[in-house]
Structure 1
Amino acid sequence: MKLLIVDDGHYIVEYLKHLLDWGKFGIDRIQTTTNSVEAKRILEQSPVDILITDIRMPEISGIHLLEHVKALNLATKVIFLSGYSEFEYAQQAVRLGAFDYLLKPVDKEDVEKAIKKVTCEIGKSQQEGAPSLDKIDGFRYLLSLLSAHGPLNLECNFDETSFAHIPLRYFRISPATEGMKTRIRDFLEGWHTFVWTTPSLLAGVVPESTADRLRAALPSIGLSELFQFRDIHKVQHTFYQFFYEEEVTSDDFHVMQEGMEFSKLESREWECARNKMVKRYPQLTGRKYRILYLLKAAHYLYLSIEKNRTNEVLDWLFNQLHDPDEAYKFILCTISRLAREDELTYQDTVHSVQTYINDHLDEALSLEDLGRIVHLHPAYLSKLYKQQTGENLSSYIMLKRLERASGLLTASHLHVGDISRMVGYKKPQYFIKLFKEHYGVTPQQYRKRKAKIGGMQPLRK
Structure 2
Amino acid sequence: MKLLIVDDGHYVVEYMKHLVDWRSFGIHQIETTTNSIEAREMLNGSLIDILITDIRMPEVSGIDLLHHIHQNNLPTKVIILSGYSEFDYAQQGIRLGALDYLLKPVDKDDVEHAMSKAIQKIQKSRPVHAIDWDHFNGMGYLLSLLAQNETLKEEYDVYAACLADHRYCFFKLEHYTEADVERVQHTVAEPSTSFVWTSGSHLVACIPEETARRFAAEWNQAALSSPFAFTNRNETREHFYRFFLNEDVSSSDFVGLTAFSSVESDSETIGNIIHTYERIANRKHKQIYLMEIITYIYLKDKNQDTTKIADWMFNRLQDPNKFGAILIDMFSRIRINKQMSIQSIVDKVRKYIEDHLSHGLSLDELGKVAHLHPVYFSKLFKQETGENVSNYISRKRLEKASQLLQDSELRIADIAQMIGYRKIQYFIQLFKQEYGVTPYQYRRNMTHQ
TM-score range, shorter chain: 0.3 to 0.5
Return the TM-score normalized by structure 2.
0.47
- By relative contact order (CA 8 Å, sep 6+), the higher-ranking structure is 2
Return the TM-score normalized by structure 1.
0.45
Say which one has the larger Rg: 1
